[in-house]
Amino acid sequence: MAGEPPLPDVAIVGLGPAGRALAHRCLLRGLDVLVVDNSPDRVWAPTYAAWEDELPEWLDRSSVASRVPYPAVRAGRPRTLGRTYCVFDTRTLQSILNISKAHIVAGRAVLLATDAVVLENGTVLHARYVVDARGTETRGAARQTAYGVFLDRASAAPALEGRTSWFMDWQGDNGADSSEQPSFLYAVPTGPDRVLLEETCLVGSPPLSVRVLRERLLHRLEARGITVPDGAEIEVVNFVVEPSARHGKSLAFGARGGLIHPGTGYSVAASLALADRMSAALADGTVSGSTVWPLPARAVAALRMAGLRVLLDLDTSNAGDFFEAFFTSPPGQQRAYLSSRADTRRTLAAMWSVFRRSPTRLRYTIVRAVFRRHRP
C-alpha cells in the first residue's frame, strides 16, 4: 500500500556474538537491518575464545584480551600445540560489532517465519529475510558444563606449573573415580593479571553437575597448593553442544544454525568467519541452507557427530588415553578436526589416527560409539 515504509532487508533475532556479527556485516553492506532481542543492551558475560588462525581478517584484534602461543595440553605427558589461542575481551568485541544503525527491538520472539517475527506481546515484525541467531537450544541431551574461578596470576601460578596456560589438563588430581564421567582443567589468562581456572565436562548426556565440577576444581587446586579465597569471581557454564535440527522455514545462523562444534562447544570463531558469506548472500538474494552448509561441511558435521558419540562414552579411566592419541596425531589433522568445516579427508584422517593410536580397550569403545546411531 502507498505510504507504507519499505520492509527491512533482514531481521536478525538474537544479539549474541553470531547475531551481532551478522548484523554488523550486513550494515556495512548497506542493508536495512532489524534486530530483535529480549535484552538488546545486555553485556556479554561468558568467556569466549578461539584459535587465532580462525579469526577473519576484518576483525579488529583489539577484541583479543590475551594471546597464548603454544598452549599446553596434558593427557599423557605434557606437550604444546603449535597454534596461538586467543581469549576475547568480550566488552570490546561487543562494541566492535557496532549495530547502532540497525532498528533495535526489545522483545522475546515466539515464532519465526521466512519473512516475519512474532513477539510474545503479539507484535508482528516483517522483513525480506528472517535469520534465527538465538544461540544454543535451552534443552538438549549432550551438554557442556564447567565451573571456574578467576584468580590473579601469582595465585594461579601453582596450577599452571610454569606454563602460560592449560588448554586441556587431564591430570588425575581432581578426585574423580576411574568409572566416573571425566573432566579436565582449562586454565587460560583472560587479561594482564587475571587467570581463569575451570573444571570442564567437555560433553555429557547428562553432563556433570556444576556442584560436582566445583568439588573437583577445589580438590584439584588444593592438591596443587591453591586455596580459593572467599568472594573470588566465578564462572558457570552450561549449554547444549549437540546441534539441533532446524525447525520451520526460517534461516538460522551461529550456534542455532548448527555452527557449534559438537566436540568442543566452540561456535564464535565459525560465526565470525561466516558472517561475511551470510551477509553477502542476504544482500544479493541468494541466501539458502547451503550458504554456510555446502555438502563438504555437512559431511564434516556428520563425522563430528560420530566423534561426539565417542566422547559421550568416555569415562575417567580412558579419557586421558583418547586425548593423548588425539594430541599425538599430526598437527594438520588436529587442526582439521578442531577448525576446518569442509576438509573431509583430513577430518577422517584425524579420526583414523586417534583410533590407530588408541589402546585395544579404547578401540572397542570407539567402534561401539561410532556405529551406534543414537545413545540409548
Kindly report, residue by residue over 270-283, the tens digit of the pLDDT: 999 999 999 999 99
- The DSSP symbol for 60 reads -
Name which residue leads in pLDDT, 54 or 2: 54
How many angstroms separate the CA atoms of 50 and 67, rounded? Answer: 10
Nearest to 278 by CA among 301, 259, 304, 303: 259
Q: What pLDDT score was predicted for residue 4?
A: 67
Looking at domain 10-45+89-139+243-284, which of 4.10.780.10, 3.30.365.10, 1.10.580.10, 3.50.50.60 is its CATH number?
3.50.50.60
Report d(CA 64, CA 32) in Å as an integer: 29
Give the separation between CA 372 and CA 267, rounded to whole angstroms. 26
What sign does the dihedral 171-173-177-180 (CA atoms) show? negative
For domain 143-240, the question of CATH label 3.30.70 is answered with yes
pLDDT in tens, 45-54: 999 999 999 9
Omega before residue 189 within 30° of 0, cis: no
Q: Are strands 194-204 and 143-151 parallel, antiparallel or unpaired?
A: antiparallel
| pLDDT for residue 289 | 84
Nearest to 128 by CA among 28, 6, 1: 6
Give the global pTM: 0.94
Grid cell 587442526 in the structure block, residue: 335
Give dist(CA 309, CA 314) in Å, integer.
Answer: 9
For residue 371, the model assigns a pLDDT of: 86
Q: 89 in the Ramachandran plot: left (φ > 0), alpha (ψ -120 to 50) or beta? A: beta
CA-only gyration radius of the chain, Å: 21
Measured distance CA(43)–CA(66) in Å, rounded: 19
Bond from prior residue into 17 cis (ω within 30 degrees of 0): no
Using an 8 Å Cβ cutoff, are 353 and 361 in contact?
no
Question: Which pairing describes strands 78-80 and 129-132: parallel, antiparallel, or unpaired?
Answer: unpaired
Which residue type is seen at 48?
Answer: Y
Q: What is the mean pLDDT of residues 9-25?
A: 98
In this model, does residue 105 exceed pLDDT 50?
Answer: yes
- As a residue count, the chain comes to 376
CB 99 within 8 A of CB 27: yes
Instruction: Determine whether 78 is exposed, middle or buried from the number of CB atoms within 10 Å of its CB (0-12, 13-18, 19+).
Output: middle
Number of Cβ atoms within 10 Å of the Cβ of 104? 16
pLDDT over 50 at 376, yes or no: no
pLDDT digit string, tens, across residues 120-166:
999 999 999 999 999 887 666 899 999 999 999 999 999 999 999 99
pLDDT number for residue 247: 43
- Identify the sign of the CA torsion 140, 144, 147, 150: negative
DSSP string over 236-268: EEEEE-SPPPP-SS-EE-GGGGT-S-TTT---H
pLDDT at residue 358 tops 90? yes
Per-residue pLDDT, averaged over 310-325, amounts to 96
- Model pLDDT for residues 244-269, shown as the tens digit of each residue: 655 445 699 999 999 999 999 999 99
| Residue 170 parent element (H or E) | none
Q: Which helix (H) or strand (E) holds 198?
A: strand 194-204
